[in-house]
Chain A
Amino acid sequence: EVQLVESGGGLVQPGGSLRLSCAASGLSFSRSWLHWVRQAPGKGLVWVSRIGPDGSATTYADSVKGRFTISRDNAKNTLNLQMNSLRVEDTAVYYCTTLQAGGIWGQGTLVTVSS
């Protein structure tokens, strides 16, 4: 079964850090372009970041540029998102996904930034 499973979400204070992970199974992970998409409570979907198959091509939304870092470990079939200098407005469910290339999504992990 093709599956993406996120982990690492939780409650963090403003200015804090959190590292999300996404474990993949059943897909050609090392050939896949992967993305993080987030959804604030009651709001729409927002694209956050992407990474190419070998990890060399990374892109970020302006809202997270300089604070978030996407990375991957193809040996472990794992995608990561290091989130630093977190803000209240980063509160959201974070999904890892292949988007239109196969339409595979994880179940999401909730990040809450609050004092």
Chain B
Amino acid sequence: DIQMTQSPSTLSASVGDRVTITCRASQSVSISLAWYQQKPGKAPKLLIYMASTLQSGVPSRFSGSGSGTEFTLTISSLQPDDFAAYYCQHYISYPYAFGQGTKLEIK
């Protein structure tokens, strides 16, 4: 099974900051990688799929990159609405797996 590891687990930042979250796979997942945002008590929201394709309606300050085993989610200029948990997920083969999550907190 492919394991996904995110870093950092917690990230403190301020409005306007540029932040990057890293996701590593235990073996290659090509570009079969998605990113989700989740706010407390809510269902996750798809941000990016195919490693770098922005889901319709997602602000352009979100971007994804990477392939193989290393991926990044970047938020170019943090907005108040962006403070949430973020998860990566591979879908190259079953069982699919999520990273353990990154909690983005207000500094």
Which residues in A have some Cβ–Cβ distance to B below 8 Å? 35, 44-47, 50, 59, 61-62, 95, 97, 99-100, 102-103, 105-108
Complex Cα gap A47–B50 (Å): 18
B98 x A100 contact (CB < 8 A): no
Write out the residue numbers on chain A whose beta carbons fall within 8 Å of the beta carbon of B100: 44
Which residues in B have some Cβ–Cβ distance to A below 8 Å? 34, 36, 38, 43-46, 49-50, 55, 87, 89, 91, 94-101
Residue of chain B at shortest CB distance from A59: B94
A99 x B95 contact (CB < 8 A): no
Write out the residue numbers on chain B whose beta carbons fall within 8 Å of the beta carbon of A99: 34, 46, 89, 91, 96
Complex Cα gap A110–B24 (Å): 30
B95 x A107 contact (CB < 8 A): no
Write out the residue numbers on chain B whose beta carbons fall within 8 Å of the beta carbon of A45: 36, 38, 44, 87, 89, 98, 101
State whether A44 and B98 are in contact (beta carbons under 8 Å apart), knowing that A99-B89, A100-B91, A106-B43 are contacts in the complex: yes
What are the 7 A-B residue pairs with the smallest beta carbon separation, nearest first? A103-B46, A105-B43, A100-B34, A47-B96, A100-B49, A45-B98, A59-B94
Residue of chain A at shortest CB distance from B97: A47
Taking a contact as CB atoms closer than 8 A, the residue among B43, B87, B89, B96 that contacts A95 in the complex is B43
Apart from A99-B46, A99-B91, A106-B43, list 11 A-B contacts with CB within 8 A. A44-B98, A44-B99, A45-B44, A45-B98, A47-B97, A59-B94, A95-B44, A99-B34, A100-B34, A100-B89, A103-B55
State whether A107 and B43 are in contact (beta carbons under 8 Å apart), knowing that A44-B101, A45-B89, A100-B34 are contacts in the complex: yes
B95 x A59 contact (CB < 8 A): yes
B87 x A44 contact (CB < 8 A): yes
Complex Cα gap A103–B97 (Å): 16
Write out the residue numbers on chain A whose beta carbons fall within 8 Å of the beta carbon of B87: 44-45
A50 x B94 contact (CB < 8 A): yes
